[in-house]
Amino acid sequence: MASTDAATHRPPVTVRPVGPDDAPGLDTLLSTLSERSRYRRWFTPAVDIQRATAWAAHPELHNAVGLVATAPDGQVVGHAAFIAIDDERAEVCFEVAAPWRHHGVAGSLLDELLRRAGQRGLRSLVAEVLSENADMLAVMRDHGPCREHREGGVVELELPLPSVPPTTTVALSPAAQVVRHPRRTTSHVTHATGAAPI
């Protein structure tokens, strides 16, 4: 049974690969994002939620890897994905439900994205983040020294991966579930070019 984190009074989330059956939960998650959160995530508040949900629920169709974070009641409270840029880099994106921000959900998702990216032989994860989005900047920086480039109001961060031997198995198993305890108060949302339709 999942224990409750004493500092946050929230139970740990379960981080697992996304599947088609998660579409209703993803739709609820994305539909309830505020206009400001949508702007931070997609760089525009005008988002086609139906298309974004379809993309998130079927990352394998876009050479991407997707994860969800679920609460003990099964509610989808977070989503993250990476999509390959080239053979060595992938771009990441996150969404976390407002009531679950600052409870380590984005950090838990990034932990697992890093593990899976290493298994694929990638060398770094990249994120384009609005400079106002201090929470997302903190999430990336908390996971290691990032190479950063700032242009206007956008910060591009590149997070190198630890050396992890690649595996030949890249298919996501629905049974491969990982319970991650929040390790830092972190929030979410970044833009990923091409990683989600708008």
Please report the domains of the chain, with CATH numbers, ordered by start residue. 13-162 (3.40.630.30)
Tell me what the pLDDT averaged over the chain comes to: 80
Q: What is the pLDDT of residue 163?
A: 66
- Asked if residues 108 and 58 have their Cβ atoms less than 8 Å apart, the reply is no
| Averaged pLDDT, 98-123 | 94
Whether the per-residue pLDDT at 184 is higher than 50: the answer is no
**pLDDT tier at 68 (50, 70, 90 boundaries)?**
very high
Q: What is the pLDDT of residue 40?
A: 87
Q: What is the pLDDT of residue 167?
A: 45
| Averaged pLDDT, 137-144 | 92
CA–CA separation, 167 and 170 (whole Å) = 7
**pLDDT tier at 4 (50, 70, 90 boundaries)?**
very low
| Averaged pLDDT, 166-171 | 40
Total Cβ atoms within 10 A of residue 70:
17
Least confident piece of the model among 10-24, 163-177, 180-194? 180-194
| Averaged pLDDT, 93-116 | 94
Whether the per-residue pLDDT at 190 is higher than 60: the answer is no
Q: What is the pLDDT of residue 106?
A: 93
Give residues with Cβ within 8 angstroms of 27, minimum separation 6. 49, 50, 53
pTM: predicted TM-score of the whole model, two decimal places: 0.77
Using CA of residue 156, residue 137, residue 63, residue 44, what is the dihedral sign?
negative
Comparison of pLDDT for 192 and 54, the residue scoring more: 54
**pLDDT tier at 188 (50, 70, 90 boundaries)?**
very low
Whether the per-residue pLDDT at 179 is higher than 50: the answer is no
Q: What is the pLDDT of residue 10?
A: 61
Least confident piece of the model among 3-7, 19-23, 59-63, 113-117? 3-7
